Amino acid sequence: MLRLTRTVLGLPGFTGGFSFSSAAALAAARKVLISDPIDPICVSTFESAGFEVDARDKVPADELVELIKSYDALVVRSGTQVTSEVLAAGAGKLRVVGRAGTGVDNIDVDAATASGIMVMNTPGGNTTSAAELTVSLLMALSRDIPNATTSLKSGKWERKKYMGTELEGKTLGLVGLGQIGRRVAAICRAMGMRTIGYDPLMSADAAAAEAIEAVDLDAVWAEADFISLHTPLTAETRSLVDANTLSKCKPGVRIVNCARGGIVDEAALLDALNSGHVAGAALDVYESEPPPEAIKPLLEHERCICTPHLGASTEEAQHKVAHDIASQIVDVFEDRAVRGVVNSRILAELMQHKDLLPFVELAERMGSLLIQLRADKLKSVTLSTRGDLLKGKSSLLKAAALKGMLTPMVEEPVNFINAPSMATEFGLSINELFENKPTMHGNELTITFEGADGMRSVSGTVTGRGTAAPQPRIVNLDQFAIDLLPQGNVLYFRNDDKPGVIGAITSLLGTANINVGSFALGRSPSGAAVGVVSVDSSIPDELIDSIAGLDGMIAVRSAKLPALSSSVGGALGLDESKPVIRPNNPKFGSGPCSKRPGYDVAELPTGILGRSHRSSEGLALLNELTNESKRILSVPDEYHVGVMPGSDTGAFEAAMWNLLGSRPVDIVHFESFGTGWYKDAVQQLKLDVRNFGVDAYGEFPDVSGVSPAHDLVFTYNGTTSGVRVPDGAPFIADNREGITLCDATSAVFAMDMPWDKLDCTTYSWQKALGGEAAHGTMILSPAAVERLNTTTASWPVPKVFNLRKGDGSANLDIFKGKVINTPSLLAVEDCLDALRWADSIGGLPAMIANSQANLRAVERAVDRFPWLSFLAKDAATRSSTSVCLELEGATPEQVKAVVALLASERVAYDIGAYRDAPPGLRIWCGATVETADVEALMDWVAWAYDEVVRK
């Protein structure tokens, strides 16, 4: 393999020194060193997240170089100098340097970037404190308060000597319009000042939105009565306020600097104060801190107010920046979105746009493939993107492509942080382009290389997003349509399109004992063709030469790409063994179940809250709920739908207590809740019951003996066993004499219910709809109503469960909005929200399809992982909502550890098997769960199994 050397690139000497921590560094000790005094909230925030904290008041520079080697993170204030030596010493383990404050002047940011170390600050933590200090100094200058105070304390009464000036009506000139500058402007406008300002990044429209008049620097100097500085210290701003600048200012100008020392030429300011051209100055920062003896004349000048860098010195600011920097660092280690990254916008984007990670991985592979296929020196790289997902993300993808391009070609380690700067040092021309053109792939990325041998290009996309595991694919290579999975060893060839070429190549590979994995071929009308052969081992140079010598062969190259899903996490500094994609919604519990996609409680109507459910508005809302439920579920018109108390449990017990007793009862049960109904019928109601149950979870019982002359009690879907009734409930006779009572709480809205066989059906809102607990629904057929009208209960029925009126007839008012007890109208609105969502996606067919797609996602995982199996072995009776799984070889304690690990990673909550069921997983796959989330979860289940069981 040709290495990309300085000679090949034709570039001057290049220095490396780049390093990157291992994946284990993030997952292991999590040790943090705090080397400056800081608010105790910083330590407690780290400790509550499981970090080991070493907090010291001060660490000498030489000691820090040795000490830092053992820490994953370093927190400093302004006292510690984080030099290149410190960063080099920590580069093998150190991941983050956090500055509890705004400025990072004491951190060698370039050295940190070169070492792949993140530098963070807390840019907003000091805003209020710094702005208030600035305004305080402005006011102190305008009234000469310090000198007046000193005079009075010395026993003098000099009212005429300390004549001040008002701020109202004066012009404040701001240099720098960041958060602090804008906050100062807002306060000063409230005092009647005109605010003008200069910022090289802020447009005039953006400044005007803050009621600041955008001007150039010369206008600030010429027009301002007061000047306040709010810029960082850079090469451009060092000594920005010097003798030349001061000469452009109004006579009598007053200047405040609470930003950075070094922005003001202190000697020039002293001269201007002595001459009277500057009426006063207020300084909180100095070029050297503490200030040296040399500037004592400035500090002692009667028209200079000086404070010892107090910008952030409020209790509130100290507490906030200490808490913020700890929280930000914890977020990095917990793989959450990061804030306050100052040395790498690319790194921050990688953490914040994790939905793009498959494309990031694709970009890296495309860059690696192209650079390995090129034949001569590279001149330029162009990255083009298409599709809404990739719009505005070219810088992120560029970093990935450059990492892929440089990694196989240079000696120095390459990562996402240093790849762009390394490419710049190589003198490569990098272009970015967004093409607003349709593509059959939705989102597509193209990388084009220009070299001495012409143009080479590769295009790719990610397939399976939302319906299958995301998979990077190469779809075009050098203008030839192709379909290639970019991983492993590949052989590229370009040839005249004629018979026999592929056969000759495979023959040579076979002779060399190299196994062929797959072929990807592309053809053009011009008579040329390209092919990429994936093979199981590397291809020797002599074999490349033999293939190149075949008749009609134009070019032959080989390349090696990493295995899929192995590179992005490592480049981020994450544990590479973890899956790349996380579920957007980790709530897979079986009750209460996941809310619908896009749910926001703040969007629920609240006008009905505080009103009576018996009011006309309340009744209308309840009837809307039952009518919409009936419509979406395709419940027959002659059936009655009503709201019941006590969730599904209350609804079903009301059914049993009111409807049973007049006939023998057959009870079909195959999970814990059905077994509970059986026990209630026998022990509480003392009924004549025939038991059609199984003790083993995962099995459906033999129901061949169910009698049509008996009443039938059953659950349609086993929430705790993962077993369901076969489609159409064939064991229920069409000509039955008894009635059926069906607990369908985890079946409705996800399965096609055979309403002609169901006389009393109950469910809760919290299952398939993802609604709130406490309420349930009961659906009665005409046969069930007739049962209520023609029989009486042989036992007391509590009022809260009673379905009859005082005269013993069916109380159908319950099914007209007049519920038995007071419902939560907020829960009603929540349920209606879920029903409207169901309608918006296509109603019941779409909800059933969603649940089935989720089950298929789990089935694919079971096919992939031999240690994973369904508790319900028979696919005909396997639930598509409450999916129960077994982990082969895992002890009960290990299963609990897997569940706990997934919860700690925030990828799945509440997925442990039911307490009475065999140890395993129970994953809710109802319609409100998105298939992409199920697919992502299954990869995490495999990871957790490896971590807990296999290791």
Q: What 3-state class would DSSP assign to 511?
A: helix
- List the one residue out of 596, 584, 949, 570 whose CA is nearest residue 769: 596
Residue in the structure block whose two tokens are 């040329």: 528
Q: CA–CA separation, 402 vs 940, rounded Å?
A: 29
* DSSP-derived secondary structure letter, 261: T
CB 655, CB 778: distance < 8 Å: yes
Q: Say which amino acid occupies 724.
A: R
What pLDDT sits at residue 563? 67
Successive 10-residue mean pLDDT values, the chain, 951 residues: 23 26 44 94 93 92 91 93 92 88 82 80 80 94 92 91 92 89 93 90 75 92 95 78 95 94 94 96 93 93 94 85 93 76 64 72 89 74 85 81 77 64 71 74 85 82 59 86 84 87 86 82 84 85 89 88 56 54 86 87 90 93 95 96 94 96 96 92 94 93 96 95 95 96 96 96 92 92 97 93 94 93 93 92 90 93 94 95 95 96 92 91 94 89 93 75
Q: What's the one-letter identity of residue 106?
A: N
Q: Are 400 and 363 in contact (CB under 8 A)?
A: yes
Domains delineated in the chain: 28-125+312-343 (3.40.50.720), 126-311 (3.40.50.720), 347-564 (3.30.1330.90), 611-836 (3.40.640.10), 843-950 (3.90.1150.10)
Contact 882, 854 (CB under 8 A): no
Residues 73-102 as b/e (b if ≥16 CB within 10 A, e otherwise) read bbbbbbebebbebbbbbbbebbbbbbbbbb
To which H or E segment does residue 488 belong? Answer: strand 488-496
Q: Structure tokens of 141? A: 């200058």
Q: What is the pTM of this model?
A: 0.51
- H-run or E-run covering 424: helix 419-425
Both tokens assigned to 627:
């009518």
Count CA atoms closer than 13 A to 99's CA, side-chain side: 27
**Residue of 68, 24, 19, 28 whose CA lies nearest to 52:** 28
- Predicted confidence at residue 831, as pLDDT, reads 94
Dump the DSSP string for 523-570: E-TTSEEEEEEEESS---HHHHHHHHTSTTEEEEEEEEEPPTTSSHHH
pLDDT reported for residue 847: 92
Left if phi > 0, otherwise alpha if psi is -120 to 50, otherwise beta: which for 316?
alpha
Contact criterion met (CB below 8 Å) for 413 and 20: yes
Q: In what order do the strands lie in the sheet with 711-715?
A: 640-645, 775-780, 760-764, 740-743, 711-715, 665-669, 689-693
Residue 111: the pLDDT is 82
Per-residue DSSP letter, 681: I
Sort 50 into a burial class: Cβ within 10 Å, 0-12 / 13-18 / 19+. Answer: exposed
Question: CA separation (Å) from 342 to 122, 263, 282, 395, 831?
Answer: 10, 21, 29, 16, 45
Is residue 167 within 8 Å of 143, Cβ to Cβ?
Answer: no
At residue 440, the pLDDT reads 65
